[in-house]
Amino acid sequence: MSHIRKIAVFTSGGDSPGMNAAIRAVVRTCAYLQVDCIGIFRGYQGMIEGDFMPMDARSVNNIINKGGTMLKSARSDEFRTKAGRKKAYEQLQANEIDAFVVIGGDGSFTGAIKFSEEYHVPFIGIPGTIDNDIWGTQLTVGYLTALNTVVDAIDKIRDTASSHHRLFFVEVMGRDVGHIALNTGIGAGAEEILIPEEDLGLERLLDSLKRSKARGKSSSIVVVAEGDRTTGKNVYELKEYVEENLPIYDVRVCVLGHMQRGGSPSCTDRVIASRMGVKAVEWLLEGRTNFMTGINENIIIATPISEAIKGKTKLDKELIRISDILTV
């Protein structure tokens, strides 16, 4: 018999499509197993302020298809302080919350570890971020939806690019890793892909663009991860550089920005989020704590959060080779 009678759930850090599906799965699994469930609004800041709402199976009706997060998300500087975490603990105690499920990225997991070291409240993390940069899972909730959103946007950019014989630099999200850039670059047929992990260099970029023109391509797309600094330039500086050095090109920049986080989650993201939400509650009731739900070879696996926050998932280098071949 578990001593856990009430579980809280919240979303924290950057939002991602599928977070609602994860919330729904946590709430409904609690209802199914007859454990009370509390939703915390605005992540750790809401925990500090006691911004809580009791949730039952019906409070998550019609959210599985919605982007964003019904519990809102926030970044909380106060939770980074000892005093802030003490207030958060007092709120959990006052509301008789025994454990929590945090849906977010590695920052949110780091906060949870700090908190559990001080107050020993059991928790499980569900990886929710479009960047797919968390160690211990092949996929994070929201990543696959973001790929589709980006490919859809680049397809539209290509329509206008080819009508005007233009070159577009399209910046996509990915501060530390190039998963989104590399996969959407291949999926949308980009001429070049600039990612933090691979040093392309300006000379190679210019050569590649010259070759594209010489082969008679009517438009060119270069996908750039926001964290890429391998050329030493951001997208706007790249535009200026290419215009100066290759005046044959009419260059435009498109920064996709936050649209990549929005939209209705793909079916796979909904399924992954649902599977992880169920496991998170089951694990807490089995007495497991400080683990992250991950997916590997289509099996839900448990990774200690302390390991998950240390590493980043590695890029598949084979995709870089494939991209080089296909832009011939």
Binding site for ligand ATP (CB under 6 A): 12-14, 44, 75-76, 79-80, 104-108, 110-111, 114, 129
Cβ proximity to ligand ATP: between 41 and 79 the closer is 79
User: Closest Cα partner for 126 from 261, 266, 275?
Assistant: 275
**Rounded distance between C-alpha atoms, residue 150 and residue 79, angstroms:** 33
Nearest residue to the partner ligand ATP, using Cβ = 107
Is 131 among the residues known to form the active site? yes
Q: Where are the alpha helices (DSSP H) in 4-142?
A: 19-32, 43-49, 82-94, 106-119
Cβ proximity to ligand ATP: between 79 and 168 the closer is 79
Catalytic residue among 131, 133, 228, 269: 131
Q: Where are the alpha helices (DSSP H) in the chain?
A: 19-32, 43-49, 82-94, 106-119, 143-164, 179-187, 202-214, 235-245, 267-286, 305-308, 317-326
Contact 47, 33 (CB under 8 A): no
Cβ proximity to ligand ATP: between 123 and 249 the closer is 123
Residue 266 Cβ vs ligand ATP, minimum distance, rounded to whole Å = 19
Residue 30 Cβ vs ligand ATP, minimum distance, rounded to whole Å = 23
Cβ proximity to ligand ATP: between 140 and 274 the closer is 140
Q: What residues pair up with 123 in beta bridges, in sequence order?
A: 100
Token pair of 217, please?
């391509």
Rounded alpha-carbon distances, angstroms, from residue 31 to 121, 179, 213:
21, 36, 60
Cβ proximity to ligand ATP: between 75 and 87 the closer is 75
Residue 176 Cβ vs ligand ATP, minimum distance, rounded to whole Å = 10
Residue 130 Cβ vs ligand ATP, minimum distance, rounded to whole Å = 8
Residue 78 Cβ vs ligand ATP, minimum distance, rounded to whole Å = 8
In sequence order, the 6+-apart residues with CB closer than 8 A to the CB of 153 are 170, 254, 256, 259
Would you please indicate which residues are annotated as catalytic (active-site) residues? 131
